[in-house]
Amino acid sequence: MSFALGLTGSIGMGKSTTAKLFADQGCDVWDADAAVHRLYSRGGAAVEEMRQAFPKAVIDDQVDRQVLKSILAGRPDALREIERIVHPLVARDRAEFRMNSKADIMVFDIPLLFETGGDAAMDAVACVSVDPETQKTRVLERGTMTEDQFAHIVAQQMPDAEKRARSEYVIVTDTLAHARLQVQQIVAEIREGMKHA
């Protein structure tokens, strides 16, 4: 018997770091973004379909995410086409991980878990959260996007308060030590519950 824990949270909330903390506790972690990278890389399952739909986006037999971004900027309708190609492949990748995992707790790191209805397939959801100022500072310090781009992404995501309200667990990522302690408590609680299931 294994437990499926969804891990979600808006951009800059510390989800990737928190996923590593779960891995440190012996959980198997599946990362939605990493799955997309695998599908887009050379030999990836999405490359040929993406080549047919967006020939300019495939360079050197892999999908170039920067080119894809610029296509999306000019054609908002392209997102539906990308999702039509990628979502079933991501779902298959996730199903294979689930089938092959030997861990008692599987953590599914999915940024848009609630937005895509993925929470329905989870036994529980943990949401990472931090105050808006820290979130914004973290994202802008990466140097990969402007303040406007950040605001645009935040506007598209479900509000943090709603994600927290819909989650069984909330992990405040103000410091690494605090986040680690909360992850340890959640893992201990799930394992304890599984003993009595």
Reported as a single tens digit per residue, the pLDDT across 83-122 is: 999 999 999 999 999 999 999 999 999 998 998 899 999 9
Mean pLDDT of the chain: 94
Say what the pLDDT of residue 155 is: 85
Q: In what order do the strands lie in the sheet with 169-172?
A: 28-31, 105-109, 3-8, 124-129, 169-172
Q: How confident is the model at residue 174 (pLDDT cuts 50, 70, 90)?
A: very high
User: CA angle 134-139-141, nearest 5°?
Assistant: 95
Question: For residue 73, which amino acid is it?
Answer: A
What pTM was computed for the model? Answer: 0.90
Tokens of residue 13, six digits: 């909330």
Asked whether the predicted pLDDT for residue 156 surpasses 90, the reply is no
The pLDDT tens digits for 41-77 are: 999 999 999 999 999 999 999 999 999 988 888 887 8
Say what the pLDDT of residue 152 is: 84
Asked whether the predicted pLDDT for residue 22 surpasses 90, the reply is yes
Reported in sequence order, the residue ranges of 9-148 that DSSP labels E, i.e. its strands, are: 28-31, 58-59, 62-63, 105-109, 124-129
